Amino acid sequence: MLMQGDAPKNALLDEFRRTPNSVLLATSSFWQGVDVQGEQLSCVIIDRLPFAVPSDPVVAARVKAIDSDGGNAFFQYQVPAAVITLKQGFGRRILRKQYGRVFLESLPNYRRTMDMHTVEEFFGASS
């Protein structure tokens, strides 16, 4: 079990790549610029969609500009930006949200499940 904060990002990634059956717990900083190939990255669990922080000055300014022009900043800016970020990972909560279809259609064809038993079978665990 490797956790962000226990070591520098590059050290964690190196150990994750070298250690079979390891688990890496991390935040959004691991979504970009991370490349793990093959079996080592066989399961990605994302607990929330990668929306930008609304209080970020750039995000706030773009939202304000779109809204003041009569647009819908959420669907015109925030959802597309999050979709771009999501393309580096996969999620499950998107199934329950109105905008989830936009996210799912942006991803390559892949197998997804919300059934923990299926995940356990994938990893060869017995329950």
Number of alpha helices (DSSP H) and beta strands (DSSP E) in the chain: 6, 2
Structure tokens at 92: 């499950």
Q: Model-level pTM?
A: 0.53
Distances (CA, A) of 59 to 15, 24, 55: 35, 29, 7
pLDDT of 23 over the 80 cut:
yes
More confident residue, 104 or 74: 74
- pLDDT tier, 90 (very low <50, low <70, confident <90, very high otherwise): low
Q: Report how far residue 6's alpha carbon sits from residue 3's, in angstroms, rounded to the nearest whole number.
A: 6
pLDDT of 52 over the 70 cut:
yes
Neighbours of 18 (CB within 10 A): 9
Q: Report how far residue 123's alpha carbon sits from residue 23's, in angstroms, rounded to the nearest whole number.
A: 12
Q: Report how far residue 60's alpha carbon sits from residue 19's, in angstroms, rounded to the nearest whole number.
A: 41
- pLDDT tier, 92 (very low <50, low <70, confident <90, very high otherwise): very low
Apex 97 CA angle, 79 and 59, nearest 5: 25
